[in-house]
Amino acid sequence: MTVARKINEIMTRSSWIRKMFEEGARLKAVHGAANVFDFSLGNPSLPPPEKFNRILRDTVDACGLEDHCYMPQAGYPQVCASIAAYLTEEQGPDITCDEIIMTCGAAGALNVIFKTLLDPGDEVLTPVPCFVEYRFYADNHGGVLKTVNTRPDFTLDIDALKDAITAKTKAVLINSPNNPTGQIYSKTSLDELGRLIEQKSREFGHIIYLVADEPYRKIVFDGIRVPSIFRSYRESIIATSYSKDISIPGERIGFAAVNPAASFKNELMAGMTLSNRILGFVNAPALMQRVVACMQGISVDIDAYKRKRDLLCDGLVDAGYAFTKPSGAFYLFPQTPIADDVAFVKDLQQELILVVPGSGFSGPGHFRVAFCVEDETIVNALPGFRKVMQKYK
Ligand SMILES: Cc1ncc(COP(=O)(O)O)c(C=O)c1O
């Protein structure tokens, strides 16, 4: 075998996901892409803010040779400083450039964090449903992803977390607003989680970190704000990016921020900087660092995502679907009327509707609808959603 056993195993295990995408591609080839309602991908559907294009052009015009060279592996100090100033305003504690490291997206940040924290066999505990890639990111660095259920409305179940944290837990990983559920964890639940992790750290005699994956922080509806984990737990690290809030996932730009109050902040920052280098990222893309430094506090038109959420939620309620309305991100995670979510998703494919089975997110009995699509895709898909639900009523 040419391909490593582990990679081969992952490819085999996730073959149903691949088959689903292949079926989607086949349907688009047969019926034309415009006639297939594709809700399967979390690719932003709104253009980046006009300011992004302007800053990008200006930055390119101003570039000299030195602007394309290697740099400090944590990123340009002036870029980290402008992000730190914005984070201080957004999240409360006084954050400086010494607590920021620029990364290749939130995915790069999570890999940098796990490489820095995990010894072989260490566990990363995450509430489910969760982003599919977490398992791989932990495994990439010798860690093991452990999961714990959330409550039926996808809020944190602190009692379940209490039972799930073990002597091997090195980090608890949360994602709020959540992919795939759109749930945002309240300040009260984060405070409770912080107290729990602190108590467990004492019990097991080592620091358990709280890692917050927050690429959807700015995509929030109904006036809700995402509370800062830095205010709920001292030993905490944020991983985030500009992929979703300014619609530039292909540019691979984000950052990690370590709580200024963290006990071993300098060691963490040094370890993460080294990890950024030896993972082969070396540093985050130079041009994009300079651009996002000027994009602090700016996002795409969130009202447009809210409109899409409401269109979809109203239409699906009307068609008989049950779900918790998402408060953020651009995903809806309805229940399937039958236990077999893969079979239900295949039924939807018959109506040319492409969604992802909840099993893929460790949330069986559900399916994920990414509503980052044109409004008319939602409107035109609703009769198909209704028809499939009627089969089971
Ligand atoms: C929850 C979550 N975390 C991380 C990522 C990766 O984001 P990035 O493009 O910033 O690496 C995604 C992308 O879809 C995501 O949904």
CA 13 to chain centre: 22
CB count, 10 Å around CB of 70? 8
19: number of Cβ within 10 Å = 11
Q: How far apart are CA 247 and CA 133, in angstroms?
A: 20
Sheet holding 356-357, edge to edge: 331-332, 367-370, 356-357
For residue 45, give the nearest of 304, 348, 274 by alpha carbon.
304
Q: What is the pLDDT of residue 94?
A: 95
pLDDT at 248: 98
Q: Ligand 1: does its nearest atom lie under 6 Å from the Cβ of 241?
A: yes
Residue 247 CB–ligand 1 contact under 6 Å: no
375/300 Cα distance (integer angstroms): 16
Using the structure block, give the residue that is written with the tokens 């409401």: 310
Angle subtended at Cα 310 by Cα 365 and Cα 303, rounded to the nearest 5 degrees: 125
Q: Give yes or no for residue 183 CB within 6 A of ligand 1.
A: no
Contact 212, 237 (CB under 8 A): yes
d(CA 82, CA 77): 9
Paired tokens of 94: 């006084």
Q: In terms of pTM, does the model score above 0.95? A: yes
Nearest CA to ligand 1 atom 7: 106
CA angle 296, 241, 178 (to 5 degrees): 115
What is the per-residue pLDDT for 381?
Answer: 97
**Digitized pLDDT (tens) for each residue of the chain, 393 residues in all:** 799 999 999 888 877 777 777 888 899 999 998 899 999 989 999 999 999 999 999 999 999 989 999 999 999 999 999 999 999 999 988 999 999 999 999 999 999 999 999 999 999 999 999 999 999 999 999 999 999 999 999 999 999 999 999 999 999 999 999 999 999 999 999 999 999 999 999 999 999 999 999 999 999 999 999 999 999 999 999 999 999 999 999 999 999 999 999 999 999 999 999 999 999 999 999 999 999 999 999 999 999 999 999 999 999 999 999 999 999 999 999 999 999 999 999 999 999 999 999 999 999 999 999 999 999 999 999 999 999 999 998
- Name which residue sits closest to atom 16 of ligand 1, judged by CA: 179
How far is 124 from 169, CA to CA, in rounded Å? 6
Our mutation pick for probing the ligand 1 site, out of 103, 243, 281, 333, counting the most ligand atoms within 8 A of Cβ, is 243
Distances (CA, A) of 126 to 130, 148, 365: 7, 6, 19
